[in-house]
Structure 1
Amino acid sequence: MAAYPFTMLGTLGAVLMTIIFMARVGMARGKTGIKAPAMSGSEEFERANRVHLNTVEQMVLFLPVLWIFATLAGDLYAGIGALVWLIGRVLYSQGYMADPGKRELGFMIGGVALLLMFLGSTGLVVWGLFTG
């Protein structure tokens, strides 16, 4: 059995979610007739594209923090953090697609999960420097 199954599932979930968001951008291009490399011209396309790009931006922060947290705090805690982050990103996506003004709840849920894992990781690294 893998050493970090919950963290791995969280990572795979984040990748799958990003693939789904990417596919939604492609479908919105087809539906609205916006040809690459254009990035504007339809609000539906722009919303789908923004959800995808924001998620990719978040992944750059999420993945290293997730794995550092898993290593220092444990797989279960990292898995829980990943699940909460994923729920936040899904709610962000649903809110943004319905009305960009409705994205805040999902953004906050994901942001809090990321921040807690970051602060936990940072605290554990600093604690380790002084204890051993």
Structure 2
Amino acid sequence: MTTILPPFSPRHIPPLFIASAFTLGGLLPLWNPARAIREYGLPERVAESPTAHSPFAAYGSRTTIIGVVMWTLYFRREYRSLDTVMSLLLFAGGVDGYLCWKEGVPGRGLFRFLSSVVFGVWGLAGLTGGAE
């Protein structure tokens, strides 16, 4: 019997978590940019700035695209490619951490950076596919 769903393994949880968070979380700036900016961790002065809302919505749409790409790779059983996307989170987390630090929220920046290290190393190690 053929199914559209790949055989599930616990090692798929981290990339599916990120894929879901990116797909859904990236939509929030489209209808509530101030809340999305707060969730990202930036200070209230940025969240309340109407000038920041449109660029953050554009950022969110691209985040959703990455999430959809991750889900697509998962359903195609392209785990090595999915791990490649995961590994790129190291760069994204570095940027996130720097921006939060620069905007005066170093604790949030450290959290975002360390989280990206965990997921990025997961991808670099090829843990989603394991020993296919």
What TM-score does the superposition give when structure 2 sets the normalisation length?
Answer: 0.41
Instruction: Give the number of the structure whose residues are more often helix, by fraction.
Output: 1
- Structure of higher CA gyration radius: 1
What TM-score does the superposition give when structure 1 sets the normalisation length?
Answer: 0.41
